[in-house]
Chains A and B, each alone.
Chain A
Amino acid sequence: MELFRSHVLVCGGTGCISSSANQILDKFNEEIKKNDLEKEVKALQTGCFGLCEAGPIVIVYPEGTFYSQIKVEDVPKITEEHLLKGRIVKDLLFKESVDEDKIKSVNEVEFYKKQMRIALRNCGVINPEVIEEYIALDGYQALAKALTEMTPEEVIDVIKESGLRGRGGGGFSAGLKWEFTAKAEGDEKYVACNADEGDPGAFMDRSILEGDPHAIIESMALAAYAVGANQGYVYIRAEYPIAVKRLQIALDQAREAGLLGENIFGTGFNFDLEIRLGAGAFVCGEETALINSIEGKRGMPRPRPPFPAQKGVWNKPTLLNNVETYANVPQILLKGAEWFAGIGTEKSKGTKVFALGGKIVNTGLLEVPMGTTLREVIYEVGGGIPNGKAFKAVQTGGPSGGCIPEKYIDTPIDYDNLIELGSMMGSGGMIVMDEDNCMVDIARFFLDFTVEESCGKCTPCREGTQRMFELLDKITEGKGTLEDIDKLESLAKTIKSASLCGLGQTAPNPVLSTLQYFRDEYEAHVTEKRCPAGVCQSLLQYKVIPELCKKCGICAVKCPVDCIDGVKGKELYVIDQDKCVKCGVCVGACPFKAITKS
């Protein structure tokens, strides 16, 4: 039997791996061997710990010691000091885990304190490539329970009573979706998992698949049992190679163990799963486009109804849920609908995973109960805005969502509150903006994305988003008029109501919400030709401050368009505003900080 006294968990999320977590793990194994600790200490890779800002992260158990921003060179020291001699290496600890002379364990750090992990419960705890570790923490127990003790109707009732709503954006009741699929007529049915996470900056689904792939397999088998399917598809983008690899390993292990395949748990229930790789089109996150793509067709949506529950993959009734929705299911089955319904708000039950990014101290992945306020997420879990800047807005729901200004920061997060504020839950991206962000520029950024990603099938989305983008571009260049703002608004409303699928229907949200809350910024761009945040290049002016200019001429040498004139040592330098391309090179070049941007 293995007799390890200590486990070294190295984060294996995409973020940490891109900053050499794999090499760190190899080095640990090498050092452990060198120090003859192979029988006492085990190093392994887990899923994402969530606090990506502090990556690469290494956690040492049983103490729960939280090492952050570890480099390969730090490994020998940790091995010799901590693993061999039992002395925690203080200067490599996550800064917040050192409180005067007491060292806090990972669970006591502020970032984790307010969190409640259901979908992420195994991420950063188990090795996702070892099925036994998942089983150890009650994995596949829910499937066993459902197959042997419950009827499909009973399973659906539990999901309905739990109040679980779709985590992919729409927020539709998962139980009802399951029921519709179960009741739909069809000789064959399918279950599918939407892992085509496309929002810029969002990585909830990726982290779940990387950190706990068996939870999705178990949950899809459960869903298949409930709706009467024997075949499932996981639609995942090829841009997530680690998630794909770990899911494939998990599938092989589950088949090997008899948890997928024929006659599961001796009950006569058959189920198997296939991975379908997507090419990374945002529109394929839309359910009907995703189904087309699974079938090998071009990823374009079709009108609904019929809904996938009636006509989905190969025109058969199909249950399609998002990764995070599935990740909640086994726990609900094991702990009961009342347990889950007891968490969250009246209409939004359970927890939600968010990918927190932008102007925030703790960039990363977190899971909080529904009803937690935006303020708690941003200031308590997220650690606030860096560099003493002022909070301006938070963008939820990615390119489909909107910007929520400071006056609503105490709003409890749930599906309905966010929609009321002109945004949406979306899949859980959360981007924080500070005083240095220009809201017109933000709207333009998201529109740029949707213009690229529009599939082109319906006119409002194909043409409309392009026109909106052009108007925004015009405004940020200082060429807009007040009529353009009105035109933008009416165009946005038309696109919202006339587009075929969710992509077009929500694409105007970033524009509408910024117009609603930050109209003054739009107006400043148009009437005063000024960008209040100092972001829009065309509206900036670079000037030499005569009192500070030492006539050195460095700026004139560096200027790529030769728009700075003066005589070295004799005459002050002056920028020709007509020729200036606002590149900002001169600001960085001046040794005396004599050039300002305004």
Chain B
Amino acid sequence: MKSIADLEKIRKEALDKINLRKENKGTRIVVGMATCGIASGARPVMMALIEEVKKRNLDNVVVTQTGCIGACNMEPMIEVYKEGNEKVTYIKMTPEKAKQVILEHIVNGNEINEFMIQG
């Protein structure tokens, strides 16, 4: 390392790796990962979410998991908690749908009605 720019580069790269450990007040995406969720494909959904979050450098978004949300026939389900907003639940997710959620809902701020529980 020969300059401050080098140091800054290392800092930015490394920060991504430990951001998880800081207190996070931003958005939380929770994936249902009970037996029912995992059986219907929650894991690829979660991996897609994590990948997408990293790819877009979304510092204030945490992807985490929970147990059975209670509507096993609608799994894989995810819940989005955006600061200051009501919780939004998306059902029957796929990795592709998950990527759309990141783009449309998290980045652009438009909730995707067709993925939600229908009345």
- Return chain A residues, CB-CB under 8 Å to B56: none
Known: A85-B33, A258-B2, A265-B2. A126 touches B64 (CB 8 A): no
Name A131-153 residues within 8 Å CB distance of B: 132-133, 135-141, 144, 148
Task: Kindly identify which residue among B15, B17, B24, B63 contacts A5, using a CB–CB cutoff of 8 Å.
Answer: B63
Give B82 Cβ to nearest chain A Cβ, in Å: 16
Known: A6-B64, A84-B33. 13 other contacts (CB 8 A): A4-B20, A5-B50, A9-B21, A63-B64, A86-B33, A86-B65, A135-B7, A135-B14, A136-B11, A139-B11, A140-B7, A258-B2, A263-B2
Q: Are B64 and A62 in contact (CB under 8 A)?
A: yes
Q: Report B95 CB to chain A, min CB distance, Å.
A: 14
Contact indicator A3/B33 (Cβ below 8 Å): no
Chain B, range 27-70, C-beta contacts under 8 Å to A: 31, 33-35, 38, 46-47, 50-51, 54, 62-67
Is the pair B7, A7 in contact by a Cβ cutoff of 8 Å? Answer: no
Tell me if B's interface is mostly helix, strand, loop or mixed: helix
B112 nearest CB across to chain A (Å)? 22
Query: Which of these, A3, A61, A87, A137, contacts B50 with CB under 8 Å?
Result: A3
A141 x B20 contact (CB < 8 A): no
B11 closest partner in A (C-beta): A135
Once the chains are docked, how many angstroms separate the CA of A9 from the CA of B35?
26
Judged by a CB distance under 8 angstroms, whether B86 is at the interface is: no
Q: Kindly state the separation between the CA atoms of A205 and B1 in the bound complex, as whole angstroms.
A: 29
In this assembly, does A562 line the interface, its C-beta being within 8 Å of a C-beta of chain B? no
Whether B13 is near chain A, meaning CB under 8 Å from some CB there, is yes
Task: Tell me whether A144 and B4 are in contact (CB under 8 A).
Answer: yes
Contacting residues, chain A, for B23 (C-beta < 8 A): 64, 107
CB-CB < 8 A to B108: which residues of A?
Answer: none
B20–A6 contact, CB under 8 A?
yes
How many Å lie between the Cα of A1 and that of B57 in the bound state?
A: 12
Q: How far is the CA of A257 from the CA of B11 in the complex (A)?
A: 13
Asked whether A259 is an interface residue with its Cβ less than 8 Å from the other chain, the reply is yes
Bound form: Cα–Cα A138–B7 in Å: 9
Using a CB-CB cutoff of 8 Å, which residues 9-54 of chain A contact chain B? 9, 39-40
CA distance A109 to B17 in the complex (A): 25
In the bound complex, residues from chain B placing their C-beta under 8 Å from that of A265 are 1-4, 7
* With known contacts A6-B20, A7-B21, A133-B18, A62–B62 Cβ distance under 8 A: yes
Contact present for B64 and A5 (CB under 8 Å): yes
Which of chain A's residues has its CB closest to B67's CB?
Answer: A87
CA–CA, A475 and B14, complex, Å = 61
- Whether A2 sits at the interface, judged by CB under 8 Å, is yes
Chain A 402-439, CB within 8 Å of chain B: the 1/0 string? 00000000000000000000000000000000000000
Q: B20 contacts which chain A residues (CB < 8 A)?
A: 4-7, 61-62
- B11 proximity list for chain A (CB < 8 A): 135-136, 138-139, 141
Q: Report chain A residues within 8 Å CB of B107.
A: none
The answer on a CB contact under 8 Å between A86 and B18 is no
Q: How far is the CB of B7 from chain A (nearest CB, A)?
A: 6
Looking at the assembled complex, report how far the CB atom of A49 sits from the nearest CB atom of chain B, in whole angstroms: 12
On whether the beta carbons of A141 and B7 are closer than 8 Å, the reply is yes
Per the bound structure, the CA–CA distance linking A257 and B63 in Å amounts to 33
Bound-state Cα–Cα, A9 to B16, Å: 17
B66's contact among A86, A125, A133, by CB below 8 Å, is which? A86
| Chain A residues in 8 Å Cβ range of B46 | 5, 40
Name B30's closest neighbour in chain A (CB-CB). A86
Would B64 and A136 count as touching, CB distance under 8 A? no
State whether A61 touches B14 (Cβ < 8 A). Answer: no
Contact B13 A132 (CB under 8 A): yes
Give A84's nearest chain B residue, CB to CB: B33
**Is B71 an interface residue when CB atoms closer than 8 A count as contact?**
no
How far, in angstroms, from A64 to B31 measured CA to CA in the complex? Answer: 17
Report if A61-B33 is in contact (Cβ < 8 Å); known contacts: A132-B13, A135-B10, A265-B4.
Answer: no
Q: Is the CB of A132 within 8 A of B1?
A: no
21 contacts between A and B (CB under 8 A): A3-B50, A4-B20, A5-B64, A7-B21, A40-B46, A61-B21, A62-B21, A85-B33, A85-B65, A87-B66, A132-B13, A132-B17, A133-B17, A133-B18, A136-B17, A136-B18, A141-B7, A141-B11, A144-B4, A144-B7, A258-B2
Q: Number of B residues contacting the other chain (C-beta, 8 Å)? A: 33
Q: Does A266 contact B (CB under 8 A)?
A: yes
Give chain A nearest CB distance to B50 CB in angstroms: 5
* Identity of the chain A residue whose Cβ is nearest the Cβ of B46 in the assembled complex: A5
Interface of B with A (CB < 8 Å)?
Answer: 1-4, 7, 10-11, 13-18, 20-21, 23-24, 31, 33-35, 38, 46-47, 50-51, 54, 62-67
> Is B50 a contact of A133 with CB atoms below 8 Å?
no
CB-CB nearest in chain A for B33:
A86
CB-contact partner of B64 in A3, A86, A107, A148, under 8 A = A86
Residues of A within 8 A of B1 (CB): 257-259, 265
Instruction: Give bound CA distance, A107 to B23, whole Å.
Output: 9
With the chains together, A139 CA to B10 CA distance in Å?
10
Cβ contacts under 8 Å, B7 to chain A: 135, 140-141, 144, 265
A62–B20 Cα gap in the complex (Å)?
5
B2:A85 contact, CB within 8 angstroms? no
**How far apart are A128's CB and chain B's nearest CB, in angstroms?**
13
> Once bound together, how far apart are the Cα atoms of A64 and B21, in whole Å?
8
**Measured between alpha carbons, how far is A138 from B62 in the docked complex, in Å?**
22
Shortest CB-to-CB span from B10 to chain A, Å, is 5
Which B residues lie within 8 Å of A64 (CB)? 23
Contact across chains for B54 and A62 when beta carbons are under 8 A apart = no
User: Which residue among B13, B17, B66 has the maximum number of chain A CB atoms within 10 Å of its CB?
Assistant: B17
Complex CA gap A126/B14 in Å reads 11
Q: In the complex, what residues of B have CB within 8 A of residue A137's CB?
A: 15, 18
Interface residues of A in 78-100 (CB under 8 A from B): 84-87
State how many angstroms separate the Cβ of B114 from the closest Cβ of chain A.
26
Who on chain B is nearest to A7 by CB? Answer: B20
* Docked complex Cα distance between A137 and B15 (Å): 7
Q: Which residues of A contact B16 (CB under 8 A)?
A: 1
Report whether A126 and B4 are in contact in the complex, using a CB–CB cutoff of 8 Å: no
Q: In the assembly, what is the distance between CA of A107 and CA of B21, in Å?
A: 11
- 5 closest A-B pairs by beta carbon, nearest first, are A86-B65, A136-B14, A132-B14, A136-B15, A258-B1
- Which A residues touch B50, using CB under 8 A? 3, 5, 40
Alpha-carbon separation in the docked complex, A141 to B17 (Å) = 18
Q: Which residues of B contact A141 (CB under 8 A)?
A: 7, 11
Residues of A within 8 A of B21 (CB): 7, 9, 61-62, 125
Cβ contact within 8 Å between B14 and A148: no
| Residue in A closest to B34 when the chains form the complex, CB atoms | A85
